[in-house]
Structure 1
């Protein structure tokens, strides 16, 4: 069976156990706070970032990995693998995908390298990465893994609410949700990722109603194969959502994940979300 290396970026929000279990290589994005540059989830943890965010003199910013870092990663993996599949954050939210493409083209045809635009982020990207690893273990080659993932990208969902649209607006990641700015600054809007960009899903005025909206979003899907609950700074809120879904998925099978510093930069404190993989052919 071919040895397929699975690569993703740090916005996939996969914990260490999942990364190790599925042998996933992670390339970090960068976080900029003032004159300091941190590798996402390597030089700074999510909790450390949330502690620093309120006192940051200038708003933190993020940047994609350099193509050279991808090239270095790919070249190292070619020594021990027959092919590489890289599943990355939506190209409409980050230049990470383009950095990986540049790296692949620089390497040439040493081994097959498939670069997949997940059209998603956070754990909905993470679920695609896990699926890639599962397909590799089933014996599929890189080309067929890429085809399966691209053909099922619509089965992965990410919805979340934010305390304020300020962070998304400031980071330029607000997509079609830009129409909400101004009229909804005092609301708790629920947003989702659709075709790779952030779009409005539902208008809510309180956190309680936002929680109900997220619950309704998940329950409205025809099938749930994998379910995750996400948070930036409030783990208790994530636990509350896990309990709400206990009749759908056993709580010990629901993945609870803290959003990475890079993701948190754009959604801000107290954001909570859900990630769902319906299953292929759902």
Structure 2
């Protein structure tokens, strides 16, 4: 049996060492500051990006990979590993056309009958997608079948939850990822919206709390409602500065039965839309 190969895009925010260790192929999105274009997680580091973002008077723009870029990735894998099934997992189609590009790229192979490519819309972003990719890659490395991996991906999609806090809603509003009314409300009287991605993969506010400390406590209540005393894994993520995220993670350790903890930094493309000072927790049932 040929080993299943795993493909994702750069918005999954999987640390490079993990990608290399598990053999995960990555196709990068792009971030543009005016005429300057960078490959996310390749030609610009997170530190360089956030320094430029904070200094910039205008919001950078982002763009998805082309179908041809995905086609070339699939071709490279199949040339090196003929007959291997490919599972390609991507950023929510509600916020990006990346999934559609990957899907189209998979149809452009000259001999589609000789290929076995499954393209998945994770309905999530950052490590909400990354946790699915990593689990799939771990199972592939253990020799699990494509069918077993797809079954586990579907289970994990239902057994995970993410909440995040942003320093300001300005970036989400400017990028068209959240309505102007919500952005306005978030700027008044230190109200902190607690954000998530809904079942369709769209950014939505689940509650609005005055002050960061109270928002953190409310996030713990929401996680407890979801997971209770079940054992879980947790990934903490942040943009630019980690203090709030690590404080949130420490609080989670006093409320949840956490068996494994990961850390990651949110990269340039997602960072463009949430801004510096974002703190996120991604939790899944073991």
Assess if the C-alpha contact under 8 Å between 1:7 and 1:24 holds in 2.
yes
- The range that moved more, 20-29 or 138-147, is 138-147
- The range that moved more, 114-123 or 181-190, is 181-190
The residue matched to 2:108 in structure 1 has which SS? helix
Shift of 1:219: 2.8
5 Å matches for 1:162-201? 162-174=166-178, 179-186=181-188, 187-195=191-199, 196-201=201-206
Shift of 1:43: 1.0
The residue matched to 1:42 in structure 2 has which SS? coil
Assess if the C-alpha contact under 8 Å between 1:29 and 1:63 holds in 2.
yes
Q: What's 1:93 paired with?
A: 95
Q: How far apart are the structure 1 equivalents of 2:61 and 2:206?
A: 25
Assess if the C-alpha contact under 8 Å between 1:113 and 1:142 holds in 2.
no
Shift of 1:51: 0.7
Q: What's 2:13 paired with?
A: 13
1:106 aligns with 2:108: yes
* Equivalent residue in structure 2 for 1:123, among 111, 121, 127: 127
Q: How far apart are the structure 2 equivalents of 1:249 and 1:173?
A: 33
Q: How far apart are the structure 1 equivalents of 2:180 and 2:2?
A: 45
Shift of 1:151: 5.0
1:244 aligns with 2:251: yes
Q: How far apart are the structure 1 equivalents of 2:216 and 2:32?
A: 31
Q: How far apart are the structure 1 equivalents of 2:170 and 2:246?
A: 26
Q: What's 2:275 paired with?
A: 268
Assess if the C-alpha contact under 8 Å between 1:229 and 1:257 holds in 2.
yes
1:204 aligns with 2:209: yes
Cα gap change, 1:173 to 1:65, in 2 (>3 Å): same
Q: What's 1:34 paired with?
A: 34
Q: What's 1:83 paired with?
A: 85
Assess if the C-alpha contact under 8 Å between 2:162 and 2:281 holds in 1.
yes
Q: What's 1:233 paired with?
A: 240
Shift of 1:246: 2.9
* Equivalent residue in structure 2 for 1:159, among 159, 163, 182: 163
Q: What's 1:221 paired with?
A: 226
The residue matched to 1:225 in structure 2 has which SS? strand
Shift of 1:244: 1.8
| CA RMSD in angstroms, aligned pairs only | 2.0
- The range that moved more, 126-135 or 219-228, is 219-228
Assess if the C-alpha contact under 8 Å between 2:160 and 2:285 holds in 1.
yes
Shift of 1:224: 4.3
The residue matched to 2:253 in structure 1 has which SS? coil
After the TM superposition, list the runs of 4 or more consecutive aligned residues in structure 1 that deviate by more than 4 angstroms.
Answer: none
Q: How far apart are the structure 2 equivalents of 1:218 and 1:114?
A: 31
Give ranges in structure 2 of 5+ residues lacking alignment. Answer: none
